[in-house]
Amino acid sequence: MTTPETDAPFDAPWQAQLFGLTVALSDAGLFPWTDWTQALGAELKAGHPYWQAWLAALETLLAARGIALPDEVAALAHQWQEAAHGTPHGTPIRLENAPLSSCG
């Protein structure tokens, strides 16, 4: 429970990115932090691993506010996967690299 390697707050860059997004959105006034702790607590109670729970909580808050609907997120996530497949190793992955990208 106390090994040093488990002391870092993030295990992967996407967790840090997710954390930053959440704090930025709350800073911008999209939701009070009390709503955030409530949403995170509800997802953790469902038994998800910590950062998956965090992502699910943010997706739930954004969907409830009509900001990012699940279909929209899933479609864009797919585009990001396509972009990753189309990006050589060692190069930053950019959404424009997705084939047939419809993003402007």
Partner 1 sequence: MLARGTPTDRPVATRPRFAPGDRVRAINATPHHHTRLPRYLRGHTGTVEAEHGGFVLPDTNAHGQGEHPGRLYTVVFDGAEVWGAGAEPGLIISADLWEGYLDHA
Partner 2 sequence: MPHDHHDHEHDNHLDPMDARVRALETILTRKGLIDPAAVDAIIDTYAHKVGPQNGAAVVARAWTDPDFADWLRRDATAAIAAMGFTGRQGEHMQAVFNTPDQHNVIVCTLCSCYPWTVLGLPPVWYKSPAYRSRVVLEPRAVLAEFGLELPTDTKVRVWDSTAELRYLVVPMRPEGTEGMGPEALAALVTRESMVGTGLPRVPA
84 in contact with partner 1 (CB under 8 A) = no
Smaller CB separation from partner 1, 32 or 70: 32
Q: Which two tokens stand for residue 88?
A: 């050589």
63 in contact with partner 2 (CB under 8 A) = no
Helices (runs of H) and strands (runs of E) counted in the chain? 4, 0
By C-alpha distance, which of 72, 45, 78, 46 is closest to 59? 72
Contact yes or no for 56/48 (Cβ under 8 A): yes
Positions that interact with partner 2 (CB under 8 A): 1-2, 6-14, 16-21, 23-28, 30, 33-34, 37, 40-41, 44-45, 50-52, 55, 58-59, 62, 67-68, 72-81, 84-89, 93, 95, 103
